[in-house]
């Protein structure tokens, strides 16, 4: 069934947007999704996050990772409404055009709810967790309400996507300390401003990022969708979390094969995008 909300039409992405994303490793885009759509889908995403998160410890007894957010993955498998949202073509087309690939598949989705009093999200790069053979991956970070500075908006270390130091660290106190110090030492700017309603960010899998604590009295409700090149191959797992990810999100796929399991549908694809990319390459 077609969504009653504008989640499939083309967003007016420009060559300048694509150039900035390629340079900085991230971009924040205004007015990507209408407020009505965020309310409609956000209600269901929140319901599932509350029901499925499984967190029972009080905040002061949790690990740094668990204080950062409540996290529930692949909500699209549990709700037709969330499936409609996650498979929306507007976000998928933005992801493909930013990555300059022919099309994108779903790696997985996840809700990230930072509770009132929730701690920082330590500095890290997402692709540490992913057994993927190239860097053509991007996460759409979609706030379901405005995110002021004191709610813990996502912040990005601009142009850090080529830095290899810290890629072997998961989210932890160590990653916050060592990656943060390295970013500062090399002068990578942390861009961590607030998000307006309807604003969505996209960041590469190897772009380092972090988020502040939630000092507000309401949760920071965020949905994320992770996209990958539709021709992405599964890489041999580099660590235990990647082995777990391969089994959970890419079932039946063997290293070296294209990731085309039933959990990884193509969200957006265009035969013409290759010629568009070649044209841009010649122009620049």
Identify each DSSP E strand in 43-195 by its residue range: 70-73, 103-114, 121-124, 137-143, 154-157, 190-191
The pTM of this model reads 0.93
Query: Which of 190, 153, 1, 195 has its CA nearest to residue 81?
Result: 1
CB-CB contact of 109 with 74 (8 Å): yes
Radius of gyration of the chain (CA): 18
3-class secondary structure, 58: coil
Report all structural domains of the chain as residue ranges with CATH numbers, in order of start.
15-279 (2.60.120.620)
pLDDT at 284: 36
Handedness of CA 215, 91, 126, 264 (dihedral sign): positive
Tens-digit pLDDT profile for residues 183-233: 999 999 999 999 999 999 999 999 999 999 999 999 999 999 999 999 999
CB-CB contact of 135 with 206 (8 Å): yes
Say which residues have a Cβ less than 8 Å from residue 244's Cβ, sequence separation at least 6.
Answer: none
Which residues does the chain have with pLDDT short of 70?
A: 1-2, 271-284
Give rounded-to-5 percent helix, strand, coil for the chain. Answer: 35, 25, 45
Query: Which of 214, 152, 155 has its CA nearest to residue 179?
Result: 155
pLDDT at 126: 98
Distance CA 265, CA 217 (A): 37
């Amino acid at each position: 069934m077609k969504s009653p909300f504008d989640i499939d039409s083309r967003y007016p992405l420009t060559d300048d947007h694509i150039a900035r994303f390629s340079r900085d490793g991230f971009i924040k885009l205004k007015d990507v999704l209408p407020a009505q759509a965020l309310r409609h889908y956000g209600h269901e995403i929140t319901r599932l996050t509350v029901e499925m998160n499984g967190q029972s410890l009080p905040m002061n007894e949790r690990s740094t990772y668990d204080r950062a957010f409540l996290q529930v993955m692949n909500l699209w498998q549990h709700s037709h409404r969330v499936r409609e949202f996650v498979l929306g073509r507007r976000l998928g087309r933005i992801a493909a055009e930013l990555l300059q690939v022919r099309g994108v598949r779903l790696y997985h989705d996840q809700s990230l709810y930072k509770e009132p009093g929730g701690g920082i999200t330590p500095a890290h790069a997402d692709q540490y967790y992913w057994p993927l053979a190239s860097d053509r991956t991007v996460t759409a970070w979609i706030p379901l309400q405005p995110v002021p500075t004191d709610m813990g908006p996502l912040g990005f270390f601009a142009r850090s996507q080529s830095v290899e130091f810290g890629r072997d660290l998961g989210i932890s106190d160590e990653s916050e300390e060592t990656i943060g110090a390295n970013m500062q030492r090399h002068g990578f700017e942390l861009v961590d401003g607030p998000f307006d309603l309807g604003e969505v960010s996209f960041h590469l899998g190897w772009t380092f990022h972090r988020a502040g604590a939630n000092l507000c009295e309401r949760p920071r409700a965020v949905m994320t969708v992770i996209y990958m090149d539709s021709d992405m191959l599964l890489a041999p797992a580099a660590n235990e979390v990647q082995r777990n990810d391969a089994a959970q999100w890419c079932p039946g796929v063997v290293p070296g094969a294209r990731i085309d399991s039933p959990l990884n549908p193509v969200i957006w694809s265009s035969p013409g995008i290759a010629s568009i990319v070649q044209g841009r390459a010649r122009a620049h």
